[in-house]
């Protein structure tokens, strides 16, 4: 699984090591961190692009992110696609949660799902929320789900 920085620089070590190194560096600099994980997707013809981001928020000092992109030609309904986004976010959250607990870094999982029933993505809201919460993670949906709605969204456009 290839991860990169926003600058395009490829991360050379496994993501868990990169995250640990990042937490240690930011802690030494006196920054209190929160990590938000989100995934967004974009359908382009017969292809769907996914982008998963790990956003590091420095309390009152901005943030930065690591990005992983994937492409599939598998046909999916909107609900399947929304739940696939959630699955991708949960997968990385699950890999990182023990490490984040050790360093006492708060974690949120963001879903690019609208809480307004007028939007198509809303049909996946209850399943996504139940899935994320049942895994023990803090859940955020639109409009508070900036990791997926803004950060990951920029990577799939």
pLDDT attached to residue 117:
85
Neighbours of 2 (CB within 10 A): 10
pLDDT tens digits along 43-94: 999 999 999 999 999 999 999 999 999 999 999 998 999 999 999 999 999 9
pLDDT attached to residue 1:
83
pLDDT tens digits along 10-21: 999 999 999 999
Pairing of β 63-72 and β 4-5:
antiparallel
Place of tokens 């070590």: 13
Q: How far is CA 77 from the centre of its chain?
A: 21
Neighbours of 60 (CB within 10 A): 7
- Tell me the three state secondary structure of residue 118: coil
Neighbours of 58 (CB within 10 A): 15
pLDDT attached to residue 115:
87
CA–CA distance, 94 with 42 (Å, rounded to integer): 24
Q: List domains and CATH numbers for the chain.
A: 4-156 (3.30.420)
pLDDT tens digits along 99-148: 999 999 999 999 988 888 888 888 888 899 999 999 999 999 988 999 99
**Is residue 157 pLDDT above 80, yes or no?**
no
């Amino acid at each position: 699984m290839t991860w990169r920085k926003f600058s395009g620089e490829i991360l050379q070590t496994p993501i868990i090591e990169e995250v640990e190194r990042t937490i240690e560096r930011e802690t030494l600099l006196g920054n209190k961190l929160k990590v938000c994980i989100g995934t967004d997707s974009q359908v382009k013809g017969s292809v769907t692009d996914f982008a998963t981001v790990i956003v590091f928020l420095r309390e009152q000092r901005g943030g930065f992110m690591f990005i992983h992109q994937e492409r599939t030609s598998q046909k999916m309904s909107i609900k399947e696609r929304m739940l696939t986004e959630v699955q991708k976010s949960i997968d990385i959250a699950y890999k990182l949660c023990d490490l984040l607990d050790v360093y006492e870094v708060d974690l949120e999982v963001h879903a690019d799902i609208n809480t307004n029933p007028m939007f198509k993505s809303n049909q996946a809201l209850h399943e996504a929320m139940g899935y994320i919460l049942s895994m023990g993670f803090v859940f955020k949906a639109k409009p508070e789900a900036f990791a997926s709605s803004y950060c990951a969204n920029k990577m799939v456009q």
